[in-house]
Structure 1
């Protein structure tokens, strides 16, 4: 089969097209003929071995696929690695049936980004109706869905940040009440101004560095910041627990992998609710671009350069 293989860690330049043996599904696993593979920011960390879970070489990157099993089931699945290929193997417990009305891009948009947005708002910050919500990187895969979910679940005011006018316009189109420049030098003041002079209740943050630092300072009493990535590769300042008392603030961390340690099939619950919102026309995945398998390197380049919005996918058939 055709696949992308990494034989040394690094940037997009290490993603190379290769001919590899077909994978074999052992007990408890499913073979999936991949129709689309999702591209996530975590894949760029996987390529350079800077992700939370360390990788081993050689490596076929890509953690999510949608396609069909040999018996005809159409599934969306988390594979960990091996997604950028014509065929992939998924643990049966991490594969979920996809309704016929849900297209490939939407299915992939929900399994990582949609589930992440769901968990951030439902479990990490416990969004309450009427609260203000800041969504950083609001034109990204998680951001576009978090903006829509926050509005659907009764947020009083949704404040988006994004790096270009086009991306800010997209966030407004998706339901954000106001959109501000991600490069705003005084983010704390900008967020408070965007919230009509009041400190904000909730921040979803995946940038790192001063964005995290200033967002934390913009929180209202009992405000919550959920940290789920560090796209800038710059760590925020260390937080002293005693300082959180100044405004009774909370910082939560979220890594999707931990959802599988919760009792019950929380992912199934999340996907069912997300797919239902799509069917009702209250939620949509923004298609951010489709790349052929041989264009995986360009997909990572575009993602790291912030040239993309929404959900990126790879089509292994080309």
Structure 2
């Protein structure tokens, strides 16, 4: 089978296709023929050895895939054969391998897909969908004004919609181009601001009557964080997602104390259990299949062009989910 195996760290050009034996499902496992594999920004960081943890090499990248159950191991229900399934590898004991023609996963983690849901859309609802869902459960937006960073991205585009469904009074989308802001508005944002502009925090305060937002969901980090603080209301909450890079000064932290503002960290994996994973993914899949949740697929690349997919993400030119297909 074909796979994208990371043998050394470097730029997108090192992502070459290699041939290797098709894996065999062990007891309790299912073999999935991959029809779509999700591409995530943190995988680009891993490739360049800029992630929080240096992965051990060699490594087949990819933590989420969707496809057809083609073979099963001992003890697995035969009814799973031929089923359309999601393979949330990130929640398994072998959390990688999605950039390939085939992947194996514990059958207990394979989640059935509704017929109306595409394989590409299913990949967008795994890491990104669960992140958006749990961000809102950790910091509920009901009755509050919220700011969503990277609002046209994989997580942000879902956050905008789910925050509205959860009863947020005002959802303000922040993104880096007019096209991205238009996308966020089409998904239900009440207002939008370009965080490439110097005065965008003032614009957010204007939308909220000069008060600022109650919650900032910051999945971007960097320069956005300090400016987002200017748009945060007294007693507001700044939520840090795990992958953002944050550099708040001591003075900024002290100012937050004076305004009774709080910081909250967020990391997805510690919140997941096998039962909860299946239930939450099934909920997201059904919402998308019924068109109650719009999944934005930004770009589709053949597996041999995985480097181009990484380059798109690193250049911040993507909207929605980026996927690899056979």
> What is the aligned counterpart of 1:106 among 112, 121, 124?
121
Give 1:207 shift: 1.6
CA distance in structure 1 between the partners assigned to 2:82 and 2:287 by the alignment: 26
* Corresponding residue of 1:116: 131
For the residue of structure 1 that corresponds to 2:120, the secondary structure is helix
CA distance in structure 1 between the partners assigned to 2:262 and 2:58 by the alignment: 40
For the residue of structure 2 that corresponds to 1:265, the secondary structure is helix
Task: Tell me, yes or no, if the aligned pair for 2:235 and 2:261 is still in contact at 8 Å.
Answer: yes
Task: Tell me, yes or no, if the aligned pair for 1:207 and 1:229 is still in contact at 8 Å.
Answer: no
Would you say 1:293 and 2:303 are equivalent positions?
A: yes
* Corresponding residue of 2:227: 214
* Corresponding residue of 2:141: 127
* Corresponding residue of 2:6: 6
Q: How many residue pairs align between the two structures?
A: 310
CA distance in structure 1 between the partners assigned to 2:144 and 2:130 by the alignment: 21
Give 1:229 shift: 4.8
For the residue of structure 2 that corresponds to 1:31, the secondary structure is strand
> What is the aligned counterpart of 1:75 among 85, 94, 108?
85
Task: Tell me, yes or no, if the aligned pair for 2:114 and 2:289 is still in contact at 8 Å.
Answer: no
For the residue of structure 1 that corresponds to 2:147, the secondary structure is strand
Would you say 1:42 and 2:36 are equivalent positions?
A: no
Would you say 1:147 and 2:160 are equivalent positions?
A: yes
For the residue of structure 2 that corresponds to 1:272, the secondary structure is helix
Task: Tell me, yes or no, if the aligned pair for 2:109 and 2:278 is still in contact at 8 Å.
Answer: no
Give 1:64 shift: 0.4
* Corresponding residue of 2:248: 237
TM-score by length of 2: 0.88
CA distance in structure 1 between the partners assigned to 2:7 and 2:84 by the alignment: 31
> What is the aligned counterpart of 2:317 among 299, 307, 313?
307
Task: Tell me, yes or no, if the aligned pair for 1:106 and 1:284 is still in contact at 8 Å.
Answer: no
For the residue of structure 1 that corresponds to 2:116, the secondary structure is coil
Give 1:204 shift: 1.0
Task: Tell me, yes or no, if the aligned pair for 2:10 and 2:48 is still in contact at 8 Å.
Answer: yes
Judging changes above 3 Å, is the alpha-carbon distance between structure 1 residues 17 and 267 closer, same or farther for their aligned structure 2 residues?
A: same
TM-score by length of 1: 0.90
For the residue of structure 2 that corresponds to 1:84, the secondary structure is coil
Give 1:238 shift: 4.6
Task: Tell me, yes or no, if the aligned pair for 1:105 and 1:285 is still in contact at 8 Å.
Answer: no
Give 1:193 shift: 2.2
* Corresponding residue of 2:271: 259
Stretches of structure 1 that go unaligned for 5 or more consecutive residues are none
CA distance in structure 1 between the partners assigned to 2:36 and 2:55 by the alignment: 22
Task: Tell me, yes or no, if the aligned pair for 1:213 and 1:237 is still in contact at 8 Å.
Answer: yes
CA distance in structure 1 between the partners assigned to 2:41 and 2:190 by the alignment: 26
